[in-house]
Amino acid sequence: MTPLPRLSLLRRYDTCRLIPSRFADVEDSVLTPLAGGDDALLRDLFDLDNATNERLRGESGLLPGIGMDELVFGVPNFRMINAAYTYARPEGSRFNDGERGAWYCAFEVETALAEVAFHKTVEYQEIRRFDDSVGYQCLLADFSAVFHDLRGADGAEGGAGAWAPCLDPGSYVASQALAQELLELGSMGIVYPSVRHAGGTNLACFRPALVGNVRKGAAYRLTWAGSPQPLIEAA
């Protein structure tokens, strides 16, 4: 039998997930300004958006990676919770594939900032242009559950040393394979050392129902002005 990472009971409050600020305010749709006060046009825009909105498709049971029975409803900020699982990048991320997302968060805001700064900088490197300013909103969440654990330097008891390929800074092949295996076995998620911030810890939560007490924290602005290293400021 293939060994699995050890299990750890995690009780952690005020974890930080950073999302672009433009997605943080769900009370008023981003489509509203486009309609210019024309209610008929706004309805048409909503119809078009609903037809292509991955979160709404997931909440209607139309996505292959996650069912309606796993999504959450009627709790504060449930749309932002569901969006984390229904809007997966086509190539996936470290512990999810392109069909099903996960709630990624960090134990400390410094780690979350390092993570988003790294990935955004990679995007700008691809176009060879570092000239942008992006606002981010911290979403705080609390967790109390048993997760598979990749922490630990010596590899003992399934520590990070035994799972080094899953923490490869340049590849998600091994980590996505492990995540798929664990997901099929009913895993709640994976807690793991940050690859982008030394000493930091991240959590990839596989189950929407475990993301507790989601609320807004601080806001930040990351500005690239000709350099791969962004200026990070409180917004």
Higher pLDDT, 2 or 140: 140
Does residue 163 lie within any of the structural domains?
A: yes
Output the six-digit token pair for 153: 């330097």
Query: Is the CA virtual torsion 142, 117, 89, 77 positive or negative?
Result: positive
Does residue 1 lie within any of the structural domains?
A: no
Q: What is the separation of C-alpha 17 from the centre of its chain, rounded to a whole number of angstroms?
A: 7
Does residue 202 lie within any of the structural domains?
A: yes
Output the six-digit token pair for 214: 């989601």
Q: Say what the pLDDT of residue 67 is.
A: 84
- Phi/psi of residue 216, each to 5°? -80, 140
Q: Say what the pLDDT of residue 159 is.
A: 54
Distance CA 105, CA 8 (A): 17
Domain that holds residue 164: 6-234
SS3 79: helix
Distance CA 145, CA 229 (A): 36
- Amino acid letter, residue 80: M
* Residues composing the chain: 235
Q: Tell me the pLDDT tens digit for each residue of 139-192.
A: 999 999 999 999 974 444 455 677 899 999 999 999 999 999 999 999 999 999
Does residue 79 lie within any of the structural domains?
A: yes
How open is the CA angle 22-23-24, to the nearest 5 degrees?
A: 95
For the cut 80, the answer to whether the pLDDT of residue 102 exceeds it is yes
According to DSSP, the β-strands at 6-20 and 212-225 are: unpaired
Does residue 58 lie within any of the structural domains?
A: yes
Q: Say what the pLDDT of residue 152 is.
A: 79
Does residue 199 lie within any of the structural domains?
A: yes
Q: Tell me the pLDDT tens digit for each residue of 183-223.
A: 999 999 999 999 999 999 999 999 999 999 999 999 999 99
Strand partners, 10: 145
pTM: 0.83
Most confident of 28-32, 36-40, 187-191: 187-191
Report in angstroms the alpha-carbon separations of 206 from 20, 46, 161, 211: 21, 29, 23, 9
- Amino acid letter, residue 122: V
Higher pLDDT, 124 or 58: 124
> Quick one: average pLDDT of 127-134?
95
Q: Tell me the pLDDT tens digit for each residue of 42-86.
A: 354 444 444 444 444 444 444 556 888 899 999 999 999 999 999
The fraction of the chain above a pLDDT of 90, given in percent, is 71
Report in angstroms the alpha-carbon separations of 26 from 9, 78, 80: 33, 10, 8
